[in-house]
Structure 1
Amino acid sequence: MKSFLLLLLLLLVFVSFSTTTNAAYNIVDFGAKADGKTDAAAAFRKAWAAACGAAKPAMIYVPVGRFFVSQGLFQGPCKNNATRVFIDGTLLAPPGYGGGAGMWIKFQYVDGLSIYGGTLDGRGQAMWACKTAKLRCPTAVTSLTISKSKNVLIRGLTSLNSEGFHMSIYGSSGVTVLRAKIFAPDESPNTDGIHIQLSSSVTIVNTTIGTGDDCISMGAGTANVRIQGITCGPGHGISIGSLGGVLGDPGVENITVKSVVLLGTQNGLRIKTWGNPYDGYVRGVVFQHAIMKKVQNPIVIDQNYCPGRVNCPGQSSGIKISNISYADVRGSSATKVAVKFDCSASKPCVGIALQDIKLTYMSSSTPAQSFCNNAKGSISGVINPPSCL
């Protein structure tokens, strides 16, 4: 029913654009063929040039069918601030791996972009096999990149089997992702659902994500983010970090994660920083109304992140973590330690607030546990497992 309503909405908007003074451009009119083989990249670029160059609101339309697109790099600024892309069909990435210098579909320097519907099939299986075999692989391609843009809406998009990240929001502001569906197998490496970095005022709502890495990850310079109504799993959970891997990374602040469900994920609500002395911060984070089902690490702050034990053993994280609240987090943990705050000796976690935490270990005969190291905070309501703050 939802798919029918979305299709009806797209049809109505398309008819509206076609019958008014707004400009509408169908990629088929520029030579694209829905055969899944003929490269439609040139047709897409021509349609973009026409729409972006229009002085009035403009629309690009991708009809039903399978369109092979070797690469789509779409750049502004546009002459209008209402360029819309309506996709009824499926865009197919190249069948090999490592093309496009790490990016497949990219929009940059655009103000007022909207993307509705459609499917992006990243066909990342060859890249996953290369990584799994530990070969010398090229850079994995991100399926959709929003770069240095503002006032962007992505609604009803489906992303499948990306080589690397499914969606990257970089250096942008005012980006909303609504009712997206993002999927890759749980064994697919580094296929983060949505990655946010150096961006502010980002909203992700009513979205389903299941991948081989973080469902949503927030890197350095992320601020004023609202994440709500997310179903995550499989994957590595909803993560802030990793931070502090290099000198000079900006901090992360004002993050709200609300009304989320995590299903069998490696982590639940996670903050992770490298065990390096580089300065930085994570502050003003609210985790609220979260349901965990067989999650390995439901609540975790890890300031001793050091994969491979290279360059950081024995060092202390310089990232200051403060004012982090967890309220109404409940469900089951797949490990005994359901709440873990492993913080920095030089920059202890402060201002951690726990309220109404109800997490149980899957083994009914063994109670769940908490672990604290260099962490200070407060508790209220019912706390299970008992707090170690």
Structure 2
Amino acid sequence: MERTFCITLFSSWLLLAFIIQAQSRPLDVRSFGAKSDGVSDISPALTSAWKKACDSPTPSKIIVPKGTFGLGKVTLEGPCKAPIELQVQGTLKAPQNPSLIKVGEWVTILYLDHFTLSGGGTFDGQGAIAWTQNDCSKTSECNKLPNSFSFGFLNNSIIRDITSKDSKLYHMTVLGCNNLTFSHVTITAPEHSLNTDGIHVGRSNGVKILDSTIGTGDDCISLGDGAKQVSVTNVVCGPGHGISVGSLGKFKNEEPVVGFLVRNCTLINTLNGVRIKTWPASETGAVTDMHFDDIIMRNVSNPIVIDQEYCPFNHCTLGIPSRVKISKVSFNNIRGTSASAVAVKLVCSKSLPCDGVHIGDVDLKYIGKLGNITTNCVNVQPAFMGRQNPPICAQNRNAQSS
């Protein structure tokens, strides 16, 4: 009887192990009909694999193997019963014609806990046609072109070891997320690709961007309203418009931006360095607890910027001050070369001057031929620590001493 009991127990264990193994076996999209011919749309296969993974009570992995696959507009949505990893090893190509994606994003990922996107693969947005349709320079509203990614309401999740190439508009947008990490991500698009921001974070808490390389036609990283406790570490940015907070104040009921740490980053051949920007004649808002530490600038125009008169293409009213309050900002150990004579621009609001601006060691050399390196400071009285080259806000200091 004891032998029979042991055999039964062992058989039950084998059955359980088989079930667990079957449930945890990776789901290859080819098993759901995906073809790696670079043309056929694999979104139905990916959606079917996603449904099976989402319904699984144990953690699942979906694999897009090496090869080139076409991918139409797709939404991968939870909540799911267990964590899911989407491992993209190959290249996924978006439709070249933006109208084939219609409204929204190319890839939308929503309402998940403990989600992972990985694999070393490439998402190719094929944005060249879309860039010719971008009319931001002519009107105050851009064409509604599709972003490559929308990450919405993800918790405790990670995006790692993937490449986003040639998005039609933004590469990645983040909204309503908590504790989301980007690690070893590569984002690339030509310098002339308008509004192809790398990673845009809004209304999210605890977003980390680590050990990544971003080069686009707009901001490498940008923060919108409601971004809180965002950190950027060991990121190389360029080409592009730099690392930016804003622009803010354009819309009513924008949430405060609180807690931004950028450290140990390198910016190369960018239009701006580290920047905070708000619209004049703006709605009310607040930006506080911003810190930029250990930044290398290489041939960067406008390396350090606070601009509360941000007015691209003159689509605004410059004579009315911004109503976004900026406070508790620090720039420390920022060094390298400036491609413009004005290396530091701190232009704050006349009605709400910047408070608590601290400037530590700064060493910037101008490599152009348009005179001597200078700084421009308006409606701000920074506190200084260490050494500054060039002397920052010299006119303010002279006014105080007289």
| Residue 108 (structure 2) pairs with residue 106 (structure 1) | yes
Query: In the alignment, is the contact (CA less than 8 A) between 2:273 and 2:301 conserved in 1?
Result: yes
**Given the two structures, how large is their TM-score scaled by the length of structure 2?**
0.89
Secondary structure (helix, strand or coil) at the match of 2:129 reads helix
| Residue 135 (structure 2) pairs with residue 120 (structure 1) | no
Question: What percent identity do the matched residue pairs reach?
Answer: 39
Aligned residue pair count: 372
- Any residues of structure 2 matched to 1:245-256 within 5 Å, and which? 245-256=250-261
Deviations 1:215-239 (A, max 9, x none): 0000000000110001000000000
Q: Following TM superposition, by how much is the alpha carbon of 1:350 offset from its aligned partner in structure 2, in angstroms? A: 1.1
Deviations 1:319-365 (A, max 9, x none): 11011001100011111110000100001011111111001111489
- Residue 25 of structure 1 is matched in structure 2 by 27
Match of 1:173 among 168, 178, 181: 178
| Residue 355 (structure 2) pairs with residue 350 (structure 1) | yes
Query: In the alignment, is the contact (CA less than 8 A) between 2:134 and 2:143 conserved in 1?
Result: no
Paired with 1:281 and 1:293, the residues of 2 have a C-alpha distance of: 31
Match of 1:261 among 258, 263, 266: 266
- Residue 86 of structure 1 is matched in structure 2 by 87
Q: Partner amino acid for 1:61?
A: I
Structure 1 residues 291 and 149: CA distance shift in structure 2, 3 A: same
Please, which runs of 5 or more residues in structure 1 have no aligned partner? 1-16
Question: Which structure's CA Rg is the greater one?
Answer: 2
Match of 1:212 among 211, 217, 223: 217
Q: Partner amino acid for 1:260?
A: C
Q: Following TM superposition, by how much is the alpha carbon of 1:171 offset from its aligned partner in structure 2, in angstroms? A: 1.2
* Structure 1 or 2: more strand by fraction: 1
**Given the two structures, how large is their TM-score scaled by the length of structure 1?**
0.92
| Residue 233 (structure 2) pairs with residue 228 (structure 1) | yes
Q: Partner amino acid for 1:354?
A: I
Match of 2:195 among 190, 199, 222: 190
Q: Following TM superposition, by how much is the alpha carbon of 1:20 offset from its aligned partner in structure 2, in angstroms? A: 7.1
| Residue 145 (structure 2) pairs with residue 140 (structure 1) | yes
- Residue 3 of structure 2 is matched in structure 1 by none
Paired with 1:283 and 1:381, the residues of 2 have a C-alpha distance of: 23
Match of 1:380 among 364, 374, 385: 385
Paired with 1:207 and 1:227, the residues of 2 have a C-alpha distance of: 9
Query: In the alignment, is the contact (CA less than 8 A) between 2:115 and 2:158 conserved in 1?
Result: yes
Paired with 2:196 and 2:322, the residues of 1 have a C-alpha distance of: 26
Secondary structure (helix, strand or coil) at the match of 2:229 reads strand
| Residue 98 (structure 2) pairs with residue 97 (structure 1) | yes
Paired with 1:365 and 1:316, the residues of 2 have a C-alpha distance of: 30
Paired with 1:367 and 1:200, the residues of 2 have a C-alpha distance of: 42
Q: Partner amino acid for 1:87?
A: V
Paired with 2:124 and 2:313, the residues of 1 have a C-alpha distance of: 32
Paired with 2:374 and 2:324, the residues of 1 have a C-alpha distance of: 26
Q: Following TM superposition, by how much is the alpha carbon of 1:307 offset from its aligned partner in structure 2, in angstroms? A: 2.6
Moved more, 297-306 or 141-150: 141-150
- Residue 75 of structure 2 is matched in structure 1 by 73
Q: Partner amino acid for 2:86?
A: V
Q: Following TM superposition, by how much is the alpha carbon of 1:180 offset from its aligned partner in structure 2, in angstroms? A: 0.5
Query: In the alignment, is the contact (CA less than 8 A) between 2:133 and 2:143 conserved in 1?
Result: no
Paired with 1:318 and 1:174, the residues of 2 have a C-alpha distance of: 30
Query: In the alignment, is the contact (CA less than 8 A) between 2:176 and 2:202 conserved in 1?
Result: yes
Secondary structure (helix, strand or coil) at the match of 2:387 reads strand
Moved more, 137-146 or 236-245: 137-146
